[in-house]
Structure 1
Amino acid sequence: MTQTVAFIGLGIMGSRMAANLLDKGDVNLIVFNRSTEAAKPLKDKGAKVADSAADAVRQADVVFSMLASPPVVEDMALGENGFVSAMAENALWVDCSTVNPSFTEYAAEVARARGIRFMDAPVAGTREPAASGELTFLVGADDEDFQSVEPLLQTMGKKIVHVGQVGRGTAFKMLVNAMLAQSMLAFAETTLLGEKLGFSRDFLMDTLPNLPVTPPFIGGKAELIRNGDFDAQFPLELMHKDLHLLEQTAYEVGQPLYLANLAKEVYGSASSSGWGRKDFASVFEFLNRH
Structure 2
Amino acid sequence: MVDPKSQWQADLDLIRDAARQAGELALGFFGNAPEVWWKNEGASPVSAADFASNDRLQSLLLAARPGYGWLSEENDDDAARLQSETVFVIDPIDGTRAFINGDKTWCVSVAVVHRGRPVAGVLVAPALGEEFWALADGAAWKNGEVIRVGGEASEAPIAIAADEALVKRFEPAFRDRVHRVRHVPSLAYRIAMVADGRLDGTVVKRNSHDWDLAAADLILERAGGRLVDLADAALIYNRKDVTREMLVAGADHALELLLPYLVEHPAG
TM, length-normalised to structure 2:
0.30
TM-score when normalising by structure 1: 0.28
The structure whose residues are more often strand, as a share, is 2
Identify the structure with bigger relative contact order (alpha carbons < 8 Å, sequence gap 6+): 2
Larger radius of gyration: 1
